[in-house]
Chains A and B, each alone.
Chain A
Amino acid sequence: MRRVSWDRLISILLILPSILAIAVFVYGFIAWSGWVSLSNWDGLPPDLSWAGFVNYVRLFANPRFQIDIRNTVVFTAFFLGACIVLGMGLAILLDQGIRGENFFRSLFLFPMAISFIVTGVTWRWLLAPGDPATGRLTGINVLLNTVGLSLFQWYTDPTVVHIPPDGAVGQFLHQVGLGFLTTPNFGIPLAMFSIVIAATWQMSGYVMAMYLAGLRGIPEELREAARVDGASEWQVYQHIVFPLLRPITLSVVIVLGHISLKIFDLVAAMSKKGPGFATDVPAYFMFETTFQGDHYSQGASIAIFLLVTVSLLVVPYLIYSTRREAEV
């Protein structure tokens, strides 16, 4: 009996350093950042005098930050959409009992082993825009031209597609008091698609692997039974496969979502803030503000904003999966 409690004590001592490290370096530092975000610290020497929420007020009033939020929403929506469609599509194709499955699977997944910096440097070149003045084509544009698509400006494109204020829809929105929806802040920056393409290239194989694991978990008898009952192949997917893949989609949304909300490396390597902040994101804004501009309290407020958005996504998921595990 004495031995057991001795071992018990040692077990606590073994894990204590990690608990303390997480307590200090994760939770303690978050609290510290939170404090910095409420302080007057501007410039190199630390100044932790109380400023209240002025940094947050200033942040949300900052046009660059408003653009960043728009960019994050656009990037997240298109990046997740593209990865889910491509990843699930490839998984279903690979699940048809084809030859060379291992080869294709490894091929689709290899970008996951590469850093975002390598991806960014490479795609920056692939998507290098030509010269619109001379119409000289470069990179991907050369390939697209052969199928009749004209010159794209990619990540150098300052265009933001938004609802025209003087069109029929725009005028209607103005009349019902939703005129703000016609501003570029509620538009789609075309430059962001370059980042979406590179990020999808890197991460879609991962989504494919997750869906493939999910598909392999569905017993063949289940599909066979439905076929015997006269279900068409499409109906088998519609009524059996897709519903059973829903938990995978949830995981995909959580994993890709939190990556997309805090994306930094790829943007830094590819285009930085872009023309008119067309590819700027909060994580890059935070880096510039804090470590290049020395506006520490302002930078901390962006960091806390990032943390809150990621937490809104991740915390419910962590609670949900802990509860589910406890039930099993």
Chain B
Amino acid sequence: MKGAWRQWLLRHGGRLGIYLALIAASAFYLLPVYVLVVTSLKPYAEANLAGMWHLPSAPSLESFLRAFEQLRPHFRNSFYLTIPATLLSSLLGSINGYVLSKWRFRGSEVLFPIMLFGMFIPYQSVLIPLVQVLQKVNAAAEVLRIPSALRGLVPGYGSIAGLAFVHIVYGIPITTLIFRNYYATVPNELVEAAKIDGANIFKVYRWVLFPISMPAFAVVMIWQFTSIWNEFLFALVLTQNPAIRPVTVALYNLAGSYIVEWNVQMAGALLAALPTLLVYIFLGRFFMRGLLAGALKG
């Protein structure tokens, strides 16, 4: 019996070691998830540091309700911010990628890396002018007497429209990159053939490129949705008014409040992570591709 065990170990020991290592690594990645979930299900009295690892004595959704109550307007802000910004920046990226891959012009090869640089910069280096310019936009809206019903659409300082505008502008490099690299794989002969058939620049896009663009749109939209939802610095600096803060800033403030209710904090963190986590779970394949595209061409 002992001999058989030994033989089994000799043959499969390596495999066993691999699985054990992978399971140990899984524990590291799941540790915060365990604590998040367990703590969120606890009442305030039980959610203390010493009992962090204990299971809740009577699981309840009370902390989720409390957290949701506080975060609800900010969830709405995040959706108002993220969805239009994602759609517009994907469209813009698609057009740019189309021009830079199929309508190259003199200097477009040099222009591209110059544009790409914009996705690596620390945004601190543009924040001071950005705040000033967006404040000027508000002042201009005042002078132009834009009716209050339309004020929400003015991309000024301290507004969701302004924040969305900023995300669209600084999203140009990455969205252009993904679309350009995707369209580069479409044979030029297809474009040429369509041109010979009399298609103009719009028709070539509409009938040749756009119909096969869905995978690239999926990658870009998921990437932008995730990045804009999770973004913090712009949101923190450009939203002084608490009413328009997106959920990342609201969670940050919730965690920084004087009365530390860990259960509510953890429930809030879980809720704030949920939309992007769902996207990841259901559309992970596209998420991966976006990640790898973010590293240029590996």
Contact = CB atoms under 8 A, between A and B. Distances in A.
Contact of A306 (B29, B122, B288): B122
B21 A93 contact: yes
Contacts of B18: 93, 96, 98
A251 interface: yes
A209 B19 CA distance: 18
A150 interface: no
Interface residues on A, range: 35 or more
Contact of B176 (A18, A255, A318): A18
Contacts of A109: 284, 288, 291
B294 to A, nearest CB: 7
Nearest to A208: B25
Interface residues of B, number: 88
Interface stretch (B55-63, B69-77, B124-132, B140-148): B124-132
A112 B252 contact: no
A197 to B, nearest CB: 9
A268 B109 contact: no
Contacts of B297: 321, 325
Given A121-B251, A307-B122, A314 B229 contact: no
Interface string A124-136: 1110101000001
B96 A18 contact: yes
A113 B128 contact: no
B35 A11 contact: no
A116 B122 contact: no
B95 interface: yes
B128 A122 contact: no
A286 B99 contact: no
Most interface-central of A28, A201, A262 (chain B CB within 10 A): A262
B284 A26 contact: no
B280 interface: yes
Interface in A50-102: 86, 89-90, 93-94, 96, 98
A123 B32 contact: yes
Interface string A9-51: 0111011011101100110111011001000000000100000
Interface stretch (B4-12, B111-119, B207-215): B111-119
B216 interface: no
A291 B30 contact: no
Interface string B258-298: 00001001100100110011011000100110011011111
A107 interface: yes
A226 interface: no
B87 interface: no
B149 interface: no
Nearest to B277: A113
Interface in B133-192: 169-170, 172-173, 176
B122 A315 contact: no
B20 to A, nearest CB: 10
Nearest to A326: B109
The 7 closest A-B pairs by CB, nearest first: A115-B230, A11-B103, A113-B280, A262-B122, A138-B49, A29-B126, A307-B125
Interface of B: 15, 18-19, 21-22, 25-26, 28-32, 35-36, 39, 49-50, 52-53, 92, 95-96, 98-100, 103, 105, 109, 111-118, 120-122, 124-130, 132, 169-170, 172-173, 176, 195, 200-202, 226, 229-233, 236-237, 248, 251-252, 255, 262, 265-266, 269, 272-273, 276-277, 279-280, 284, 287-288, 291-292, 294-298
13 contacts: A12-B99, A15-B100, A18-B96, A33-B126, A96-B18, A104-B22, A117-B232, A121-B252, A125-B266, A130-B49, A251-B295, A258-B120, A262-B122
